[in-house]
A and B are shown apart, each in its own frame.
Chain A
Amino acid sequence: MAQKTMRDAINEALHQAMEQDESVFVIGEDVAGCNGSAGDVGAVGGVFGVTTGIYHRWPDRCIDTPISESAIVGAAAGAALVGMRPVAEIMFADFIGVCMDQIVNQMAKFRYMFGGKSRCPAVIRFSAGGGFSAAGQHSQAMYQIMTSFPGLKVVVPSNAYDAKGLMLSAIADDDPVLFFEPKILYQEACEVPDEHYTIPFGEAAFVREGDDVTVVAFGQMVPKAAAAIDELAEEGISCDLIDPRTTSPLDEGAILESVEATGRLVVVDEAPPRCGLTADIAGLAADKAFASLKGPVKQVCAPHSPTPFAPELEAAYLPDGDKIKAAIKATLS
């Protein structure tokens, strides 16, 4: 099977969805690129290259926009309401700050407020997360916040294989889906089948299996946690590593089953702690698996601070293997 990067895997999913269904189109800033210029229209394919080649095959369904995030999301939502399947790109998840109303008050709530009489099968893609020294306005995870809004489905892939299958599910889904691509993982490759396949929402992946501690990690923290767990295996500590893959819906069953078996839980996410996913999963365990817990749940996440610029600061800010290992060991002591 071919090795593909996460960027190429998502790109392939977009191509396959566009081939299958004429109602699918992509829209966003520079998703084609170079429009109106004397240069090569379509040469960009999104600033991270995720929509590469789509313009050349389907110029009418690869739509560049002005810098207008509210209108981009709104246009996707509106087109979806009348039966299209748009995949909109918001370049950085941080720009949710600009288009929050269209996502949260409009798209998320149509179906409920309209008494179940509407469908909004829109996908909004975002690059997300830290690791680029991109500072406070280009580094945020954001998915933890969006997970709190009923009506939205929220996807956070951690590898190329999952990203392709989850994207194909997202496009086929009849509800609005927010798809957060950890940008530090775009170049990471793994085996990805050429064929069309889907990965259902609400089904976690067991990335490692073990007996001592349950580790739940999200997005770019999944490979970090896997590496930490592999190191600990040499010390005789064995862990389950669960990647929920979608934060809404959440595979509560997989997490609870594992916690019931290990009695110990570490939750890892790159976002700050308050009202985040680590607290969310810790709360789930406290509520539904309390009797199984042998000790306190440990949360590994960023501090309650914006993302700093300097590489040293960002390295200290983001969770890393050492912090994950320390938390796992702390649950065992």
Chain B
Amino acid sequence: MSIPTETLSEAYRLMKTIREFEERVNAEIMNGQIPGFTHLYTGQEANAVGVCAHLDESDTIISTHRGHGHCIAKGAEVAGMMKELFGSSEGLCKGKGGSMHVADIDRGILGANGIVAGGPPISVGSALAAKIRKNGKVAVSFSGDGSVNQGTCFEAMNMAVVLEAPAVFVIENNYYSEHTNISYAVGCDDLKARTEAFGFPVFVADGADFFAVYEAAGKAIEHARAGNGPAGVFAEQGRYHGHFVGDPQHYRGEGELDDLRENHDCLKNFRARMAETGELDAATLDAIDAEVMAEIEQAVTEAKAAARPTAEQVTEDVYINYGAGA
């Protein structure tokens, strides 16, 4: 499979952007600058980027509580996201949603989601709209290894098959739901097989390898776009941080985190592959790194200076039009 150089450099840029965004958010939380509950995606960047590389603006994604990476990969504006996390009224959601609710409908981002498995049913609706309109669009939902145990997720998967909707279910196995390991919470030994039993193909990938995710997601999305009904992607890759910032991570085994960062790093893997194939040279990748660092720095500077919301905004945007009673 040959991937255009432009796609490659964009993929690298996005993965690096997610990595640095998250690391900076972590630092700003430690500094007390970012309020609320925040879940970092560091380590899993290749999943979001490998999937979203196949989507255009009018395809939709719906994300999870761990949503920054998905949103960036789908084209959300980084400064607008940072402002949102800081709670500015200039943020993507005017400071109303924060980390768990980052959304950008114009870019096909139907939102991060604070309810585990809140997303898949909504994604089926977006897929159904694409089917009715016959516009060739697909709707992607991201779910964690814990999320797939919710009834809403089961219902969405079955209904997508029944409706032959172009819904793509991306399951990200990072081995834990909060503090519980997948080997406990998923009752069967084979989550891929369990998912396929709903009646759609699932393509497996190493989530530390952009190329693997890109290939698996390509097959799934092509399947759905072509009108064959839903498809799935199953990607395995641990997260580098705790479930939330401040998680003591009692569930980690000896050396687990070091091994993750050392041997399961999509950025390192990407660079190694480029060194092998020569498609992008190190200087080009270094230049991207520098640009990303500058962009994140700029986003934080802007977020710190951005306007704060005011009390009268509390009741704005509850409705479009509430009628005479308002």
Contact = CB atoms under 8 A, between A and B. Distances in A.
Contacts of A270: none
B194 interface: no
Given A98-B152, A303-B314, A138 B308 contact: no
Interface string B74-100: 000000000000011100010111101
Interface in B165-192: 176-187
A314 B138 CA distance: 36
B253 A39 contact: yes
Interface in A35-81: 35-40, 43-44, 47, 64-71
Interface in A127-172: 132-138
Given A34-B250, A36-B181, A66 B186 contact: yes
B311 A34 contact: no
Contacts of B149: 66-68
Interface stretch (A200-208, A240-248, A305-313): A305-313
Interface in B93-148: 93, 95-98, 100-101, 113-118, 146-147
Given A304-B315, A308-B314, A310-B309, A33 B98 contact: no
A70 B113 CA distance: 19
Nearest to A40: B250
B151 interface: yes
B250 A44 contact: yes
A35 B36 contact: no
A97 interface: yes
Chain B, interface size: which category?
35 or more
Interface in B212-256: 248-254, 256
A47 B177 CA distance: 12
B71 to A, nearest CB: 15
Nearest to B149: A66
Contact of B251 (A29, A37, A67, A310): A37
A312 B177 CA distance: 31
Interface size class of A (residues with CB under 8 A): 35 or more
Nearest to B185: A66
Nearest to A43: B250
B315 A305 contact: yes
B150 interface: yes
A133 B98 contact: yes
Contacts of A35: 180-181, 184-185
Given A30-B179, A64-B180, A135 B318 contact: no
Contacts of B147: 67
Interface in A62-114: 64-71, 94-95, 97-98
Contact of B151 (A68, A133, A304): A68
B253 A66 contact: no
Contact of B318 (A44, A305, A313): A305
Nearest to B310: A312
A33 B179 contact: yes
Contacts, number: 166
B181 A37 contact: yes
B183 A135 contact: no
A138 B100 contact: yes
A133 B35 contact: yes
Nearest to B178: A30
A271 B101 CA distance: 21
Contacts of A47: 178
A72 to B, nearest CB: 11
A133 B87 contact: yes
A134 B36 contact: yes
A69 B149 CA distance: 10
Nearest to B154: A68
B96 A310 contact: yes
B252 A311 contact: no
B250 A309 contact: no
Nearest to A39: B251
Contacts of B181: 34-37
A183 B310 CA distance: 25
B100 A310 contact: no
Contacts of A286: none
B254 A138 contact: no
A97 B115 contact: yes
Contacts of A306: 96, 318
Rank and list the top 9 A-B pairs by shortest CB-CB distance, nearest first.
A36-B184, A38-B253, A36-B181, A310-B87, A309-B98, A137-B114, A310-B95, A133-B35, A316-B311
17 contacts: A33-B180, A33-B251, A34-B250, A37-B181, A37-B253, A43-B251, A95-B115, A98-B150, A132-B35, A132-B37, A134-B36, A136-B97, A303-B314, A303-B315, A309-B36, A310-B35, A313-B95
Given A29-B177, A68-B149, A310-B308, 15 more contacts: A36-B180, A36-B183, A36-B184, A40-B250, A64-B184, A71-B151, A94-B115, A132-B35, A132-B36, A135-B36, A138-B114, A309-B87, A309-B98, A312-B309, A312-B310
